[in-house]
């Protein structure tokens, strides 16, 4: 019995269809595999993010606790110790903020007589903490020009500066002392009479 050409044609067409289906299935598998890899990557990154957040929780809690402890220590200091009469407690120190004016040298000597130093600022925070008590007035601080360098009276180098614009300018080559006003510094003739700030020397 002879096999007709139409039979072969049908078989061939079916084979082509199967081959096409196989290719499409392969493409779908490839797409699914890519999606699976992407999902796996996303899960890995999500796990890393969660772990990172969990690791940071103790650090953030520790930072918050340290900040609260520092504030509590400062608050307790205000109650556990008293400053001399007419002195002010700011931060963790006692300061004498004068109501009379003297030259820089006279101010330095007056602070010495009060068992203190003309103000030496350890950092900008200390300066900022003092500002509300200064009420916009200018005050001598314990800094002078030493040749071309500015030093505190204990010969230490300032850890920061806060010069006003275009200062220090050493006008008439006679400005060798420093005043502070509203958070900025200005060099001034040392014989000028100014208010002044004394800072306790004890720890």
Q: Which of 46, 80, 114 is the last residue of a domain?
A: 80
Per-residue pLDDT of 15-58, as tens digits, reads 777 777 777 777 776 776 777 788 788 888 877 887 777 777 67
- Report pLDDT for 137: 97
pLDDT classification of 154: cutoffs 50, 70, 90: very high
Token pair for 71: 């504030």
Q: Which of 60, 80, 100 is the last residue of a domain?
A: 80
Token pair for 143: 């800094």
Q: Are 122 and 129 in contact (CB under 8 A)?
A: no
Give the DSSP H or E segment for 146. strand 138-146
| Total tally of structural domains belonging to the chain | 2
The answer on 144 and 69 residing in a single domain is no
The answer on 94 and 63 residing in a single domain is no
- Give me the domain span that covers residue 106: 87-200
The answer on 92 and 53 residing in a single domain is no
Q: Which of 189, 183, 153 is nearest to 168 (CA)?
A: 189
Q: Which of 202, 199, 203 is nearest to 111 (CA)?
A: 199
Q: Looking at the predicted structure, is the pLDDT value of residue 1 above 60? A: no
- Report pLDDT for 89: 94
């Amino acid at each position: 019995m002879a096999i007709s050409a139409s039979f072969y044609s049908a078989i061939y067409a079916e084979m082509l269809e199967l081959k096409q289906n196989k290719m499409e299935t392969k493409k779908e598998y490839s797409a699914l595999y890519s999606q699976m890899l992407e999902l796996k990557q996303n899960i890995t990154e999500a796990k890393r993010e969660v772990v990172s957040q969990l690791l940071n929780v103790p650090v953030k809690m520790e930072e918050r606790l340290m900040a609260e402890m520092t504030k509590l220590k400062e608050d307790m200091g205000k109650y556990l110790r008293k400053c001399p009469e007419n002195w002010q407690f700011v931060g963790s120190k006692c300061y004498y903020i004068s109501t009379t004016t003297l030259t820089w040298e006279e101010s330095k000597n007056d602070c010495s007589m009060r068992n203190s130093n003309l103000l030496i600022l350890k950092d900008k925070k200390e300066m900022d903490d003092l500002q509300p008590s200064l009420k916009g007035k200018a005050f001598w601080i314990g800094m002078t020009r030493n040749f071309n360098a500015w030093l505190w009276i204990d010969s230490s180098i300032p850890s920061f500066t806060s010069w006003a614009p275009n200062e220090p300018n050493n006008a008439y080559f006679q400005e060798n002392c420093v005043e502070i006003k509203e958070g900025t510094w200005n060099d001034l003739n040392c014989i000028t009479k100014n208010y002044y700030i004394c800072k306790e020397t004890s720890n």
